[in-house]
Amino acid sequence: MADYSPLHAGPGVGGAPTMRAPVQKSRCSYVINNPFEKLSTDILNVIDARLGLDAVRLRSASKSMATMPLPPALALAQAVMVTKSDVQPMTYTRTRRHPREIAWAGKHWSPQSYARSNRWRAEWATLARKFESAPVNQLMDLHETLWSVRTKPSSLVGRKIAALDSVLDERLWAACCGKDIRTNANGQKVVTALSEHASTRVVQRMFQDLAMYNGPTSFFHTKYGWLRFTPFLLAAERGNLTLAKWLYRTFDPKVTVDARSQAGNNAHALHEAELMRTFHTPEQIDDSEMLRWLREVGVPRQTPRNESAVYKKRIADRLAHSQTSSQSIDPSSESSQSSQSSSDSPLQ
C-alpha cells in the first residue's frame, strides 16, 4: 500500500506534487496607538522645532500631525527650499565674504562695495521678498533649519544662506536700535518696537546661536558700514542700556568700551551726540543713566565729532592722494596724455 504521508509527498520524493493552501489575510489582534494623539500643541511645536524640515515627512505618517499647520518658520523654510533663482547665477555674484574676513583684510566700506553686497538681490529677487517680509525671530529659525541641511557653501542651500546672512546683518542693526523692520505685501516698511529685553534676546541669539560677527565690520554689508560701528557702539548711541551691559559682559573690551567709530568717537561721545541731536537739555544729559554707566566701566568723556563731516574729509583726502600718486608715477607721459585730451575726454 502506497504511503501518502506528508513526509513523502512532493516533487522529487516519489509522491504527487501537492498545492499549498492560499494564505488568508488575518486581522491584527492589536492596534498600535498613535503616540502623538495625546500630546499638547506646545509639545508638538517643540517636536517640529527639533525635527526641522523632517517634520514635513512626519506629517505624512501621523494623522494627528497631518492636521496641524506647519509653524511659520518651518513653512517659510519649506517655501525657501523650493524657491528658484529669478535669473541664472551671474558671473559677478560671488560668495558673500564673512565680516570677519573683511576685518582681517582691512577692507574699507564704499558705495561700490555696498553695491556689490547687494548683487545677490538680482539673482534672488523672489527670495529677498520672502526674507524681508518675515519677522526677525522667524529668520533666525530659518537660518538654523537651512544650516542643518547645508552640504557646502557653494551649494544651492549655501547660496540661500549667504543671502539670508545679508538680511540678518540689517536686522542686527535694527535690533540694536530697539526695533524690527520688515516689508509687507504692499512693499511698505513695517516697524515693530522692541523693548530693551526683547532686543537683547534677539542679539544674544544672533551671536550665540547663529555665530554672527561682532566687530567694526559687523554692518559692512549694510548702508551703515561706513560708520564702522560695533554693536556696542550702536546700542550705546541709541540708549539701549540692557543690551550694552550684556555686550560689555560677554565680549572683549576692544569691541565694547575701547571701540571707536570711523570718526574716532567712543560710546560716550556717540550717546552724548544722540542726546543733543534729540534736543535734550544739558541737565538731562548730565543725568543720563547711560552716560553715567559708561563712565563707571571706563569709557572717558570725549567731545563728539561729526561722523559725516569726518567721513567726507577722509574720502576727499584719499581721492587727492590717489590723484597725486598717479601723476607722480610717470611724469614723462603727461605730454602724450595732454595731446590726446581732446579726443579721449569723458566729458565730450
pLDDT in tens, 215-258: 999 999 999 999 999 999 999 999 999 999 999 999 999 999 99
3 three-class SS: coil
Q: How much is the pLDDT for 260? A: 98
Residue owning grid cell 590717489: 322
Q: Is the pLDDT of residue 6 over 60?
A: no
Neighbours of 47 (CB within 10 A): 14
Q: Where are the chain's structural domains? A: 40-70, 77-214, 229-314
Q: How much is the pLDDT for 328? A: 67
Q: Which amino acid is at 263?
A: A
Tell me the average pLDDT of the chain.
Answer: 83
Q: How much is the pLDDT for 69? A: 73
Cα torsion 227, 228, 231, 235: sign: negative
Question: Cα-flanking dihedrals φ and ψ of residue 84, to 5°?
Answer: -100, 160
Q: Chain-centre distance of CA 155, in angstroms?
A: 17
State how far the Cα of 76 lies from the Cα of 140, in Å rounded to an integer.
Answer: 11
Cell of 79: 517655501
% of the chain with per-residue pLDDT over 70: 74
State how far the Cα of 254 lies from the Cα of 252, in Å rounded to an integer.
Answer: 5
Taking residues 21-31, what's their average pLDDT? 53
Residue 240's region, left for phi above 0, alpha for psi from -120 to 50, else beta, is beta
Q: How much is the pLDDT for 2? A: 52
Q: How much is the pLDDT for 26? A: 54
Q: How much is the pLDDT for 27? A: 55
179 three-class SS: strand
State how far the Cα of 263 lies from the Cα of 150, in Å rounded to an integer.
Answer: 40
State how far the Cα of 171 lies from the Cα of 177, in Å rounded to an integer.
Answer: 10
Neighbours of 333 (CB within 10 A): 10
Taking residues 154-170, what's their average pLDDT? 92
User: Which superfamily does 229-314 belong to?
Assistant: Ankyrin repeat-containing domain (1.25.40.20)
Task: Write a three-state SS string for 97-111.
Answer: CCHHHHHHHCCCCCH
Cα torsion 151, 157, 160, 161: sign: negative
- Stated pTM of the model: 0.78
Residue among 230, 239, 219, 285 nearest 258 (CA): 230
Query: Do 152 and 203 meet the contact criterion of CB atoms below 8 Å apart?
Result: no
Taking residues 291-320, what's their average pLDDT? 95
